[in-house]
Amino acid sequence: MVGLGVAAFAVGVVVASLVGSDEPAVQPSSSPSTSGASVTATASASASQSETAAPTTSASPSEPVDPSSSPLPDDRYFVKPSATVAGEDDSPELSFEVAEFLTGAEATAAAEAAGESAASGYYIVNEDTQPDRLPFAQDVRVKYFPIGSCCDPVKGDLDAWIRGLHGAENSYAGSSSWWWITVRDGRIVAIEEQYLP
């Protein structure tokens, strides 16, 4: 009993000396999970701000781009080709108008709005007033319907297709037909003729 009393007294003296000392006491957090959450939230907020700020800081002002010379975004476009012209390094570029190929209810509605009819089940809306120009990729894939044939497209050749566009190749419809072009990285990578009954 005496030993326990002495031990209790000694602990009390140590505690009392700590409380009364001039040294700053380290106090445990009353809610560790809340404290941890606020640190995480602050870190996330800081990270989020730095992620948001990074593009703004690294972005540099750019010169205005002429819409007629800017490449189209990667996609597939319904077009009316008009000619090929010399581009960079004298490589050919295609000049074309982008249009809309509508079918079904959309075709009917657009035709009626224009005072026309979509009797064949399709309707073409061509409101492009400023043709686009794009270069060809090195390995352009061409599919077309040889004149007088129907209805499965066959593999073609870009050089022959270009000659057909200028009326020098009998088996290609050229500019008298409508085509789909696929654009990737500002270049035409595929050309496919649209069959029209």
| pLDDT tens by residue, 3-22 | 433 333 333 333 333 334 34
Domain of residue 183, residue span: 75-193
Residue 186 within any structural domain of the chain: yes
Residue 163 within any structural domain of the chain: yes
> Is residue 174 packed enough to be buried (19+ CB in 10 Å), middle (13-18) or exposed (0-12)?
buried
Residue 164 within any structural domain of the chain: yes
Confidence label for 2 from pLDDT (cuts 50, 70 and 90): very low
Q: Is the pTM of this model over 0.75?
A: no
How far, in Å, are 15, 76, 93, 135, 191 from residue 90 at the CA level?
Answer: 91, 25, 9, 10, 21
Confidence (pLDDT) at 171: 87
Residue 23 has pLDDT above 50, yes or no: no
The number of domains in the chain is 1
Q: What is the mean pLDDT of the chain?
A: 72
User: Is the distance from CB of 107 to CB of 122 less than 8 angstroms?
Assistant: yes
